[in-house]
Structure 1
Amino acid sequence: MPETMRAIEISQPGGPEVLTLTDRPVPQPGHGQLLLKVAYAGVNRPDALQRAGAYDPPAGASDLPGLEASGEVVAYAGVTEYAVGDKVCGLLPGGGYAEYVVTPAAHCLPIPKGMSLKRAACLPETCFTVWSNVFTRGGLKAGERFLVHGGSSGIGTTAIQLASALGARVFTTAGSDAKCQACLDLGAERAINYRDEDFVKVLRAEGGADLILDMVGGDYIPRNIRALADDGRLVHIAFLSGPKAELNFAQIMARRLTVTGSTLRPQSDLAKARIAQDLAEAVWPLVEAGKMAPVMDSEFALEEAAAAHARMESSGHIGKIVLKVG
């Protein structure tokens, strides 16, 4: 085992250019943790928020970016469910942009049968987020009308596939005809180009959305309220257009609406372990049956992390972006 590893650090808050290749000591696993030799690391919006100084890692977590990875178990402490040499993918508290990373074993899952390490690196962050917010918090059921904004994003492509596979009617928004077509190909019943159509009108014509998953915020918040059916639920997971809006709460009361949301990273290790168990039971069989798979946009070398972030922030991508580490 080497003493040092290549890693990408955030030299100072700023744009993609502040992502810098450096050498760091190889971390050591604590009790209940795995040490992974990273093959691929997923690139996600929270990484960019951390880079910009707007999303600090939780206490005790690595200051390096990277919230998901795939790789090989090379060491562990106080763990019985995995062995050295096992191939896994895992949700990370941070540190994925590096050749080695530690994470709780309970936040890892085996690589689905037949799936490459590259694709598997893209499963944890989106699957943990979608499952916990759409199905656990949002309570989506078969036959319900589900609207997910940003359908061509990593979260969106995962949400479309899972909701469709589990019997929901899926509606989505995207910013181009090509992105809308990609969403339809994944199982969406209706893809709304938000530059040309009003999603509120489309959903109201269908009877309203039973559940909306939103990562836009801003002026979408009151529009989401109008797009909901009576007894509908609105779940927020991000605010790309800002967290503030003016709302008429009388509408929420009169129509018995639920407005909620969550962030994943600050949740307890136990909460994340419970989500991982749900995924093993409900989602991994769908993946292995070919009913859901990460949509891949592009791959960059570890030292090209700045270019990967620029690609993500251009919003030109469809699906997931990864860093090739191993």
Structure 2
Amino acid sequence: TDYYQLSKRKIILYKLSYRAALKKSSLHIISVLLFLSSLFSSAQNDDLKGYKIEGDDVVFIFDKRDYKKATKDEHGDVIDFKNLNIDNVSVSGEFNNWSRHKWKMTKIDDNRYELRKRLIDFTDEFSWEFKFVINNSFWAEPTRNTVNKADAKDPYGSPLHVYNLKLYTAYPKENGNASFKLKGFENAKKIILTGTFNRWNEQIFVMNKVSDGWELTLQLNPGEYEYKFIVDGKWMEDPNNPSKKANEYDGYNSVLNIKVPHTFILKGYENASKVILSGDFNDWSENNYQMKKTSEGWSFTCLLSGGKHHYKFIVDGNWILDPNNTVKEYDSDGNINSVCMIR
């Protein structure tokens, strides 16, 4: 595949650079090792089709050279891509209810079209299926060797015998918030990181070899994730992570919980002696999260996992809803609570 050819060429370049570096200082040798790590990271990102992550944006990329066939929307007729005269290209997927018209792309050159969207708009799910639509009628069909492909199905779950592309909200980032490390395995040829953050994809997240093992840093949305390593085809849990859950294969998945700081504010109540924050995130404790008095009222900052959280304030022993939060919900016991969403 193009991916392995690219990786092979880059490894050859690394070896040549490394031999030259041996004649220089140890500082140069370290630079070469860092360079190799960046090459592998770049290769796995370049291999994703249809999009890339740039800062806080998702950039959808349609390149007609990536496609050989297209399917006519009304009749399902398959045509050769080279016979298409492209007037416009749209992005259609789960994120826009598979609209063929809303997300029009901008032509960059004779082969490529692009559309930029904010990454924050794609935080409700770990992954999204999508496709490109030509002239509002023809679906560009991903090839079998596309890494981020998924079997397309109709609304009733029946296979359509073609592929969709997949966009993952998790992505490699040098200064990301989730670092995965596997020590040892110096003789391994390739190690893959896979988990719920990429729907257990077995190809995309190739780990980088370092001096004491393998590592890869991702940027993940807040939430709880299960994951495993694939060492030369063999699946294994993280030996250095005691947190794990049983899976359907009579084994275990390692568990990682990504949390972000969130500040709760209760305005007013300047005459109160003590205010407690209580919620499902601290088992409704009546003591642990004592809020601090401020010029405007009371505040408390804590780490929260992604998703929905119920909470209340306890003002001098009296339980109250958040008066500045209109979002409320009943719990299983019939109590009404304020609701906080973390994304």
**TM-score interval, normalised by the smaller of the two chains:** under 0.3
Which has the larger strand fraction? 2
Which has the larger helix fraction? 1
TM norm structure 2: 0.23
Relative CO higher for 1 or 2, CA cutoff 8 Å, sep ≥ 6? 1
Which has more radius of gyration? Answer: 2
TM norm structure 1: 0.24
